[in-house]
Amino acid sequence: MSIQWFPGHMTKAKRAIEEQLKAVDMVIECRDARIPIASSNPMIEELIQHKPRLIVLTKRDLAESKITDQWIAHYQEEGILAIALNVLKDNVISSISKGCELAMKPKHERDLKRGIRPRMTRALVVGVPNVGKSTLINRLAHRKVVEVANRPGVTMSLKRIRISDKLEVVDSPGLLWPRFEDQLYGIHLALCSSIKETGYQIDAIAQYGYDFFKEERTEKLLEYYKIESLDDLESFYRVLTTRVGQPEDRGPQLFLRDIQNHAFGPISWEKPDERTA
Ligand SMILES: Nc1nc2c(ncn2[C@@H]2O[C@H](COP(=O)(O)OP(=O)(O)O)[C@@H](O)[C@H]2O)c(=O)[nH]1
Ligand SMILES: [Mg+2]
């Protein structure tokens, strides 16, 4: 991903989402299960307001399932329904249908008490770039795409997918910006290939990765590189580069590439107890 976000883009994206929200009953918010904070939009709560919401933690195959479960429990405590998906492999139609039905349940019950029968639910899919929105939409679209509409005002097309007689999912072309205002989240996004790192950042990102593994997941590095212990960063890079016959200053690049290629198995970079926002 190499999208550059500027205030103008952000205002435009915000308006587009606000406009789209008027036409839907609920929101399906995709977040990367490895980095649910960094991959969430900082204004999402304000944007969604009181609409029912289903958080979909995508890429669950790349995250540590125990930590993903903690995230789901954490959202539950906050009164938000969350599910985790491998968008490439799981039965997304069934999971999304059930999730949306549960998210809408309180509203439907309120409506029924007032004598209003529930009508078809329209759910808008939102999320920052690279969380898997298009993949999700495409997998849902194995059913038929009922409409591609151009709405006046904002130039955008809305793709609506009829999932069942109870649910229609609306694709949102308005891209939301990630939580890059804090350097830590920028690093997390780069570790998950969700923003493009630039040359001068590679050392810092790789060093963050090294410190993370050294503190919490040492055995994963030892196992993968078949080394005895982690001493210091320099000797770690020396081992990495020597084995492939590359100059030592290529260490950070090689290590970051392995991280981004999921060489060490599922990794969750963010845990709910570290959550501040
Ligand atoms: N391993 C894994 N990869 C996924 C998953 N969902 C999406 N991807 C990959 O993530 C990348 C970004 O997905 P995309 O749908 O383009 O994201 P978008 O920018 O939100 O529309 C693609 O390479 C997808 O194949 C998932 O659940 N697991
Ligand atoms: Mg997309």
Output the CA angle 237-239-245, nearest 5 degrees: 95
Question: Is the pLDDT at 4 greater than 80, yes or no?
Answer: no
Q: How confident is the model at residue 225, as a pLDDT?
A: 94
Nearest residue to 28 (alpha-carbon basis) of 88, 89, 68, 87: 87
Segment 243-273, tens digit of pLDDT: 999 999 999 999 999 999 999 999 999 999 7
Predicted model pTM:
0.92
CATH of 197-274, one of 1.10.1580, 3.90.320, 3.30.300, 1.10.60: 1.10.1580
Segment 101-149, tens digit of pLDDT: 999 999 999 999 999 998 999 999 999 999 999 899 989 987 544 444 4
Distance from the alpha carbon of residue 106 to the mean position of ligand 2, in angstroms: 31
Residue ranges covered by each domain of the chain? 7-171, 197-274
Q: How confident is the model at residue 130, as a pLDDT?
A: 92
Q: How confident is the model at residue 142, as a pLDDT?
A: 74
Q: How confident is the model at residue 77, as a pLDDT?
A: 95
Q: Which helix (H) or strand (E) holds 58?
A: strand 53-58
Distance CA 75, CA 58 (A): 15
Distance CA 13, CA 243 (A): 46
Question: Is the pLDDT at 150 greater than 50, yes or no?
Answer: no
Q: Is 121 in contact with 25 (CB distance < 8 Å)?
A: yes
Q: How confident is the model at residue 3, as a pLDDT?
A: 57
**Would you say the CB of residue 251 lies under 6 angstroms from ligand 1?**
no
Residue with tokens 């709910």: 272
Q: How confident is the model at residue 2, as a pLDDT?
A: 46
Distance CA 31, CA 244 (A): 36
Segment 190-214, tens digit of pLDDT: 999 998 888 779 999 999 999 999 9
Mean pLDDT of the chain: 89
**Would you say the CB of residue 194 lies under 6 angstroms from ligand 1?**
no
Distance CA 22, CA 121 (A): 13
Question: Is the pLDDT at 275 greater than 60, yes or no?
Answer: no
State the pairing for strand pair 156-162/145-151. antiparallel
Q: Which helix (H) or strand (E) holds 212?
A: helix 199-216
Q: Which of 130, 169, 172 to mutate for ligand 1's pocket (most ligand atoms within 8 Å of CB)?
A: 130
Q: Write down the CATH number for the domain with range 7-171.
A: 3.40.50.300
Q: What is the DSSP string of 226-247?
A: T-S----HHHHHHHHHHHTT--
Q: How confident is the model at residue 157, as a pLDDT?
A: 54
Q: How confident is the model at residue 159, as a pLDDT?
A: 79
Question: Is the pLDDT at 155 greater than 80, yes or no?
Answer: no
Protein residues near ligand 2, an ion, with CB under 5 A: 134
**Would you say the CB of residue 170 lies under 6 angstroms from ligand 1?**
no
Query: What b/e string do you get for 189-217 counting C-beta neighbours within 10 Å, with b at 16 or more?
Result: bbbbebbebeeebbeebbbbbbebbeeeb
